[in-house]
Amino acid sequence: MVVNHRPNTLLIGKNGQVGYDILPELEKISNVTAIDVETLDLTRPDDVRQFVRSLRPDIVVNAAAYTAVDKAESEPELAEAINATAPEVLAQEVARTGSLLVHYSTDYVFDGTKSDPYVEEDPVCPINAYGRTKAEGEKSIRRAGCRHLIFRTSWVFSYRGNNFLLTILRLARQRDEFRIVNDQIGAPTSSQSLASATVEVLQHILSAGGADENWGTYHMTAAGETSWFGFASEVFRQASPELLNKVPQLHPIPTSEYPTPARRPSNSRLNCEKLRSKFGVILPHWRDSIVRVLALVNATGGIS
């Protein structure tokens, strides 16, 4: 992909956590057309195809996804349409024009049985419907033969939207204690750090003239690791009195005591060395990201 002009970027999912934060970052390096899933129905492949053809962007950033992990168990067709079929159509159109597709995937493509952090080359083995549809989306992109960047991430949170950090802060106003899973390990990753890292990679690729050896799959998560219990503990420790007028009591529990429709991997750790060695990109530590996100929660009016 050689672009001799300021690139034209299509951002899909502008109102999602990652999409919202990546929009201003993309605008620093390209001309952006940003749309939400209400504007473009990702369950209608022909509409997706025609929309991309009408714009002929140099870069397509797909920040849209079906992310309701438990709900996907009861509506797998919808999850498949958004997470697998739509990316396949995008990849086919990108391959046709020689553009670049940026796509986000998940730690849930793995089953969590490995003792070490997962590397990009490890075979996928999802254990829930959400993970299966995301793995199929990855496969479809590779099969299309387009220039692509697939960024696998984990436990995404932000100062807006639906995520674990905001949920526990809201619930803390109603509850005096929580029972939180302590045997699933991963890296809470802020959408802000994902946005910055993505654009840093894109800048590297554009400056290198789009060399083919840069395309592929990369793990992109915050530095460090913790459990959901550890994540909650740190959020409550850092939260200001304006956000948290009392600190609930936390009780660590095993996954077996918190059954959910969808199974979760016990090991969600992703090895990000490939991202560092190829592009020099290292995301902030998850604790540092909590500091920044809580500051944004305060600055934007607190918890509603």
Alpha carbon separation from 191 to 118, 175, 176 (Å, rounded): 21, 27, 29
* SS3 sequence of 207-229: HCCCCHHHCEEEECCCECCEEHH
Q: Which of 130, 159, 218, 258 is catalytic?
A: 130
Give the residue among 82, 86, 62, 85 at the shortest CA–CA distance from 148. Answer: 62
pLDDT of residue 2: 55
Say whether 159 is catalytic: no
Helices assigned H by DSSP within the chain: 17-26, 45-55, 76-80, 86-97, 129-144, 164-171, 191-207, 228-238, 273-279, 286-299
Chain length of the chain = 304
Kindly report, residue by residue over 222-235, the tens digit of the pLDDT.
Answer: 999 999 999 999 99
pLDDT of residue 301: 81
3-class DSSP assignment, residue 57:
coil
Output the six-digit token pair for 83.
């997470």
CB-based contact 151:104 (threshold 8 Å):
yes
CB-based contact 200:135 (threshold 8 Å):
no
CB-based contact 146:92 (threshold 8 Å):
yes
Angle among Cα 178, 161, 275 to the nearest 5 degrees reads 95
Q: Which domains does the chain have, with CATH numbers?
A: 8-162+189-223+269-283 (3.40.50.720)
Kindly report, residue by residue over 251-289, the tens digit of the pLDDT.
Answer: 999 999 999 999 999 999 999 999 999 999 999 999 999
pLDDT of residue 3: 60
Residues of the chain with pLDDT under 50: none
